[in-house]
Every structure is written in C-alpha cells, then in structure tokens.
Amino acid sequence: MPTPSESRRALQLVTGEAVSTAGALAVQLNGSPELRRAALLETVPDLIGYYADGSAALAADFYEEQRELAGAPGGFTPELVLVDRTVKIRRAVAWASEPWFQELDVSVESRLAEVVQLEVARGYRDTITSNQRQDPEAVGWRRITSGTGCKMCRMLADRGAVYKADTARFATHPACSCTAQPVFGVNDAGVEASAFQYLASRRSRTPEQRASLRDYLNSYY
C-alpha cells in the first residue's frame, strides 16, 4: 500500500504530465491571438477532465487502502468526485491567454500551468474530502505536504491536524502539491485542527482575520 507521501508524489506525476501536455499544446498553436485563445478554450477543459479523472481514481484507491489499513468496519466504496467546473475553467483559460493580447511579464504557458495543475489536483482532493464526509467511520482528513512548502501549507498541516468540521475547505495556491488523507476513528482520532488552521482554510476572511493570520504565520513559521 502506498504511504500518504507516496500517493502525494503520484499525484504530482499526474499533474506534471497534464501541465506538460497543456504547455506543449499552447506552444504549437498558430494564428492570431483570438484563434489561439479559441483553441485553448476548446481543448483545455477536456484535457483537464481527462487528467482529473486519473487524479480522482488515484484518490479513490488511496482512500480504500487507507480505510483497510485502519481496520475501519463496515462496507464503504469511495466514489470519484468530479465537480463540473467548465465555466470557471474556461474563464481561467481566458485569463491564461492574456499575454497573447498584451505585453505582460509572464507567459501563457506559465499561467496555463497554474490553471491545469490546480484543476487536475482538485479531483484528488475533492474525492478524499467528499468521501470522508459520507463515510460513517471517517472522522476527518489531514493535509499531507512535502514539509518544505510555503508557510501557509506547513501551518495547515502542522501537528498532523485533523479537519473534522464538514465546512473545512482544502485551501490551495498555484503549484500546491499538498494532498489529503482520510482519518478514521478506529485507531487514529488525531488532534483536531486549531482555530488558526480552520481560519486559514476559509475561503474568505475579514481584514482583521487576515492580519491576525499573517502575524501568526510570521511569528511561528
């Protein structure tokens, strides 16, 4: 059975292949900026969907193996979770193509890499977190990071914190390589995430909360 770190590295291989394929596609396109953007809008959502299927399947296998390893009772079959994000992906692809229309200190390929990596990895993370909420034997999920990532990711994963609240969001950033591991109450209840870890996982924060979180990160990470 792969360890959480090995599963994280496997996801990196999937996302890396997706990013390379998208980048090669962008470089090969010819014609006006409008035509090249149209080509990306036509092809990239399907490309992301193909690799997201693979990342979700990787997560479902990992979930099942972790459940077996924990000795969780009862039957539960994890399902692939792939949210339809076509509209948002097309909007992100249009953003990625902006350097073709104006002089920017960034390339289409680098922007496209951000979009593809994030969306392909989403299939893995959503599959773990969504199945955990449906599984009566799961108590939450924990973040798996390389240990050398950004301050935010290291803080979110600190102490092996378990996110037990159903509202906890898996916070990400461009090129984030973190994954999620399901946690079962059979022999690993874990230490629940702290107030700051839950705060950092929110989608939106007040200016005061952002300042408090920034001070906390600078003080301890």
Give the residue extent of every domain in the chain: 4-220
Q: What is the pTM of this model?
A: 0.93
User: Is a pLDDT exceeding 90 seen at residue 186?
Assistant: no
pLDDT at 158 over 90: yes
Q: Does the pLDDT of residue 149 top 80, yes or no?
A: no
Alpha carbon distance 136, 91 (integer Å): 37
pLDDT for 97 equals 97
Region 186-203: mean pLDDT is 87
- How does the average pLDDT of the chain come out, rounded? 94
